Chain A
Amino acid sequence: MSDVLSVVDAWVYAELSGDSQLATLVSGRVYEAQAPKGAEYPMVLFHVQATAPDVIAVGTFRIFSEVVLTVRAISAGSGYGGCREIAKRVDEVLHGGRGSTEYGTVLSCYRERPIKLPPESVGDLQYWALGGVYRVIARGG
């Protein structure tokens, strides 16, 4: 059975980077864990926030795993306006989604809570982040 985290990462990346509306909004800037140095804004960043105990049947048979994932839309500017539409689209793409990847299957994905982080100031620029924490239930292939 493949690593379930690879299933989740691959599926989320494919869903977000494959969406045409999101591609227009962030010009394909979808990154896992950390954006590359010098990356432009706005962007979508996602990372594993936590994992839950696997659901195991009799013996060691693993039924599925739960992964808690944070997805943030980040923009540079003067307010949350720059990332609001992106976060909304991210939610439309992920919430209620399911599908398969070469590594395994995502059985369900739903948002557990929205997040709105306080702005970060770096030099004269301010960065704003909106997004959500999603619970993804997946099985390795």
Chain B
Amino acid sequence: MRMEIRDIKLNDTKLRALPDRFRSMGDALVRRTAYWIEGKAKTLCIYDTGFLRSSIYTLDSQRGGTPADAARAMARSKLEARGLPGRPFSAPPTPPKALTAYVVVGAEYGAFIEYGTIRSRAYPFLTPAFEAARPEWEEGLRKLWAEVDR
């Protein structure tokens, strides 16, 4: 007996699309978490002139260096508008690739607020924001894997 098998193909389109879909969902989770941390850090940081708060911004795979420059300009203009002197602003890092985001504290003295100095105690704002995002992040990862396994 002879049997011909025709028009049966292994269609791996979905399989090949999986990494991309997974990657884009993962990237969305990373970006969402980063912006959440930015918002939380802004509510937790101590407030004097507002420079520290307004200098916190996020860089992600879809928003590169331009928003950093915009954030820097915005922070400076806010100070200048209130007649306050400009303060040092650290250079923005290189824009991240997919699945990476940076929550940046532009004010150079941000590390001293976060970790304390020899004269004043620490007023942590970034680490607590990061820790507060952990449950949401882990839940997001769990949903992501559930989606991939479907």
A residues apposed to B, CB below 8 Å: 33-35, 45, 47-53, 68, 70, 72, 74, 115, 117-118, 120, 122, 127, 129, 133
| Minimal beta-carbon separation of B147 from chain A (angstroms) | 24
Please give, as numbers and ranges, the residues of chain B lying within 8 Å of A127 by CB-CB distance.
Answer: 117-118
Asked if B118 and A122 sit within 8 Å, CB to CB, the answer is yes
Cβ 8 A contact of A49, one of B108, B119, B124: B124
Please give, as numbers and ranges, the residues of chain A lying within 8 Å of B114 by CB-CB distance.
Answer: 49
Asked if A122 and B131 sit within 8 Å, CB to CB, the answer is no
B111 at the interface (CB under 8 A from A): yes
Knowing A45-B116, A70-B122, A127-B118, say if A118 contacts B127 (CB, 8 Å). Answer: no
Please give, as numbers and ranges, the residues of chain A lying within 8 Å of B112 by CB-CB distance.
Answer: 117, 120
B44 closest partner in A (C-beta): A50
Please give, as numbers and ranges, the residues of chain A lying within 8 Å of B118 by CB-CB distance.
Answer: 35, 74, 120, 122, 127
B89 at the interface (CB under 8 A from A): no
A51 closest partner in B (C-beta): B131
Please give, as numbers and ranges, the residues of chain B lying within 8 Å of A129 by CB-CB distance.
Answer: 115
B93 at the interface (CB under 8 A from A): no
CB within 8 Å of A: which B83-114 residues: 108, 111-112, 114
Cβ 8 A contact of B111, one of A33, A49, A68, A118: A118
What's the Cα separation between A115 and B124 when bound, in Å? 14
Cβ 8 A contact of B127, one of A35, A68, A120: A68
Please give, as numbers and ranges, the residues of chain A lying within 8 Å of B120 by CB-CB distance.
Answer: 34
B130 at the interface (CB under 8 A from A): yes
What's the Cα separation between A53 and B128 when bound, in Å? 11
| Minimal beta-carbon separation of A31 from chain B (angstroms) | 11
What's the Cα separation between A53 and B111 when bound, in Å? 24
Please give, as numbers and ranges, the residues of chain B lying within 8 Å of A74 by CB-CB distance.
Answer: 118
Please give, as numbers and ranges, the residues of chain A lying within 8 Å of B111 by CB-CB distance.
Answer: 117-118
